[in-house]
Amino acid sequence: MSVSVLQHAESSAVATEPYPYIVIRDALPEALCDRLVADYPDPAILGVESGSNNMRWSYPGCRVAGNAAISDSWREVIDYHMSRAFYEEFLDLFAPAVVRLFPDQFADEAALRRLRTGRREVDSFGQADLLLDAQICGNTPVARARSVKPNHIDSHRKLFAGLLYLRRDDDDSCGGDLEVRRLRPEFRGRSGCYDGVYVDDRYTELVQTVPYEKNVLVMFVNSLDSLHGVTVRQPTPHPRLFMNLVGEVATPLFQVPKTLGSRVKKLRRQVKKRLVRLGGGEYVDPYKEVY
């Protein structure tokens, strides 16, 4: 049984506007997906603190092999999606789009296939050109309705990102869908619409809503145009579960517009980080893993 989320993908299904992305329903064989949902690790095993409202957690692939509480099924799936073979599958779908978006960095498909791949937090950019990660992720239950991640673009060092939703059968929650968005025509080309990686919805229009449903994959090439966000989750005792896929490069692929607001927010985070560390605590940057 293949464990790849791209085993059913066809290049003809890749959307080109507003940026290259694909949505695949029934991405994994049903039996495998059901096993991943059933074997999803208890959040406590992943170090998740209970009681937080709609908080994101990300358990990196590099730690999965060493955690005996994580099932063999999860180990196999995580291992594959950090492999060279998975990167080649990504290129089979998206290589032409990557070259079109970033011709200065990647002259042709051959240049992409020459990239050395490694594993994030295991290998370094001295050893690899592209670091892959497959994370066990989720959002905690919701006490007060909110979005875990409003409209944004991902880190300028991410070449691609992917989300495989693993909704439980008894999950009757509302919200948590992914929205594919683009700038409205009158705002295109205006860097002032960006507040760092975030863009207010009033500058954008909805292209597609990808529902939070079991075994649905959405994957995209990351760029300045790759706007997406998560719809508001209503109060629920259920967590939102998914696997997150990442391909990261050393050099930024594009420049994120900097506004006064984003500079002030960054300064505040730096000050808070310094104060927390001076007090002997560990600061968790809420913007470290933009997905």
Determine contact, residues 142/236, Cβ cutoff 8 Å.
yes
Lowest mean pLDDT among 4-8, 176-180, 190-194, 252-256: 190-194
Positive/negative CA dihedral, 181, 187, 188, 190: negative
Residue (of 210, 169, 281, 204) closest to 25 by Cα position = 210
In a domain, 52, yes or no: yes
In a domain, 249, yes or no: yes
Q: How confident is the model at residue 257 (pLDDT cuts 50, 70, 90)?
A: confident
pTM: 0.88
pLDDT of residue 158: 97
pLDDT of residue 274: 72
In a domain, 61, yes or no: yes
* Mean pLDDT, rounded, for 177-190: 92
pLDDT tens digits, 99-153: 999 999 999 999 999 999 999 999 999 999 999 999 999 999 999 998 888 999 9
In a domain, 2, yes or no: no
Report the alpha-carbon distance of residue 115 to residue 112 in Å, rounded: 6
In a domain, 250, yes or no: yes
Measure Cα distances from 17 to 71, 137, 168, 180, 256 in Å.
Answer: 38, 27, 31, 10, 20
pLDDT tens digits, 278-288: 766 544 444 44
Q: Which domain holds residue 25?
A: 11-266
In a domain, 285, yes or no: no
**Does residue 291 have a pLDDT over 50?**
no
Q: Can you give the CATH number for the domain in which 218 is found?
A: 2.60.120.620
Output the DSSP codes for 139-183: E--BSS-B-SS-SB---TTEEEEEEEE---TT-------EEEEEE
Average pLDDT, the chain: 90
Domain count, the chain: 1
Report the alpha-carbon distance of residue 217 to residue 89 in Å, rounded: 14
In a domain, 37, yes or no: yes
Measure Cα distances from 274 to 268, 279, 283, 286, 288 in Å.
Answer: 10, 9, 8, 15, 16
In a domain, 210, yes or no: yes
